[in-house]
Amino acid sequence: MNKLTRRDFTSKITKGTGAAMVAASLPMGIYAACTPDKKLGIALVGLGSYSTYQLAPALQDTKNCYLAGIVTGTPSKAISWAKKYSLAEHCIYNYENFDTIKDNKDIDIVYVVLPNAMHADFCIRAAKAGKHVICEKPMAMNVAECEQIISACKKANVKLGMGYRLHSEPYTQQVQEFVKKKTYGDVTFVSAEAAYRSTGNPDQWRLNRELSGGGALVNMGVYAIQSAIYGTGENPISVAAQEFSTRPEYFKDTDETITAQLNFPSGAIANITTSHNFSANSMYVAGTNGWFKLQPANNYGPLSGSTSDGKILDFPHESQQKLQMDDFASHILHGSTNLAPGEMGKRDMIIVSAIYESIAKGGKTIRLDIPKDYGFA
């Protein structure tokens, strides 16, 4: 989707929104100080369901960061959020005045939670404003946009992280530890599934390729790709893929179901499945000395896992979004590892692009030229 179209889309959803309108609608005295000590302020850009039901509630419990601001094109949301979270007037923005966020010392991090076609634009603008950036997955519409985001953040000397919540939760970290220590031998095979059945509004942005960049693959398939990678501890060297459609009247513009086979330098192989037409949520890893699995593996939790030697993986459940945002804030505050750097988002988009290329070429195997450690934390 080109920049002009993105701006046209932004203009349509921001028409009539302004801080003055919001302020005039709020009772006097609602504004609270938004600078708690030793915490970084996060502004959520886009107040859809993920921000509403996951990110904002999680930010009430985080220890390294807090909800400092919002950016929305809907005046009623600006008003209701300001009231609910006691947000200061100067921390409320729309998409048109977003660039003035550079002058707000209360906001340290901008979390972009917009339709995929708007990720690059707002990540780059946030970086130019001197703010650290979290980009929700998928990183962008294509690899070129991923590179532009990474370049902008490096040029502005700000940190960039992906909204890959699973890297901060204990089940996924245990899987990575099994692989690293070869607890069950050398990995030979991974199966990963990430899918749900979509029955909502057929005009939603996720089913519009101009706004989403793709269907099930860019939405849920990223989780399956990630599972294959941390399930082997390697980046793939080739991929072949197939696409299936059983509801073409609903999925008119985006992919419904995709399967793919990935090959890795060690000789391990992975089968991944993703869909917007049925539910699936698991990963299984076979090694030369046993196996381990997660089911569920990629929802908001609690997750569950088991192993071939009878172990039941059972960790206390915490909000994955809370853990993710705290980890990124810790990276900024204390120099801890960035568990999901921007390069990880670019790597996954390289694989996504290769999968679409394979499908377009009738399932042909596509070679991948990804450096061995590229995208790993």
Residue type, 157: N
Could you give the CA distance from residue 73 to residue 14 in angstroms, rounded to a whole number? 4
Homologous superfamily in CATH for domain 166-367: Dihydrodipicolinate Reductase; domain 2 (3.30.360.10)
pLDDT attached to residue 110: 99
For residue 1, pLDDT over 60 is answered with: no
Average pLDDT of the chain is 92
Task: List the chain domain ranges.
Answer: 3-163, 166-367
Could you give the CA distance from residue 297 to residue 306 in angstroms, rounded to a whole number? 11
- Which contacts qualify for 317-320: CB closer than 8 Å, 24 or more apart? 318/169, 319/54, 319/57, 319/58, 319/61, 320/165, 320/166, 320/168, 320/169
pLDDT in tens, 138-187: 999 999 999 999 999 999 999 999 999 999 999 999 999 999 999 999 99
pLDDT attached to residue 54: 98
CATH number of 3-163: 3.40.50.720
pLDDT in tens, 96-125: 999 999 999 999 999 999 999 999 999 999
For residue 212, pLDDT over 70 is answered with: yes
pLDDT in tens, 318-342: 999 999 999 999 999 999 999 999 9
For residue 46, pLDDT over 50 is answered with: yes
CB atoms within 10 A of CB 218: 26
Domains 3-163 and 166-367 share a fold: no
Contact 239, 357 (CB under 8 A): no
Which residues contact residue 360 at a Cβ distance below 8 angstroms, ignoring those fewer than 6 apart? none
Question: Is there a catalytic annotation at residue 137?
Answer: yes
pLDDT in tens, 248-262: 999 999 999 999 999
pLDDT band at 13 (very low <50, low <70, confident <90, very high): very low
Using alpha carbons only, what angle is made at residue 357 by residues 354 and 362, rounded to the nearest 5 degrees? Answer: 125
**Percentage above 70 pLDDT, the chain:** 90
Q: Across residues 202-216, what is the average pLDDT?
A: 96
Q: Is the dihedral angle over the CA atoms 199, 202, 208, 211 positive or is it negative?
A: negative
* Token duo for residue 165: 């919540």
Contact 85, 349 (CB under 8 A): no
For residue 33, pLDDT over 50 is answered with: no
Q: Which of 223, 230, 284, 356 is catalytic?
A: 223
- Of 52, 86, 54, whose CA–CA distance to 72 is shortest? 52
H-assigned helices in the chain:
3-14, 19-25, 49-50, 56-58, 75-85, 119-128, 143-156, 170-181, 209-212, 216, 222-232, 320-334, 342-360
Q: Which of 131, 137, 322, 346 is catalytic?
A: 137
pLDDT band at 4 (very low <50, low <70, confident <90, very high): very low
Question: Is there a catalytic annotation at residue 171?
Answer: no
- Of 373, 352, 359, 370, whose CA–CA distance to 142 is shortest? 352
pLDDT band at 38 (very low <50, low <70, confident <90, very high): confident
Quick check: helix, strand or coil at residue 170? helix
pLDDT attached to residue 37: 59
Q: Across residues 126-143, what is the average pLDDT?
A: 98
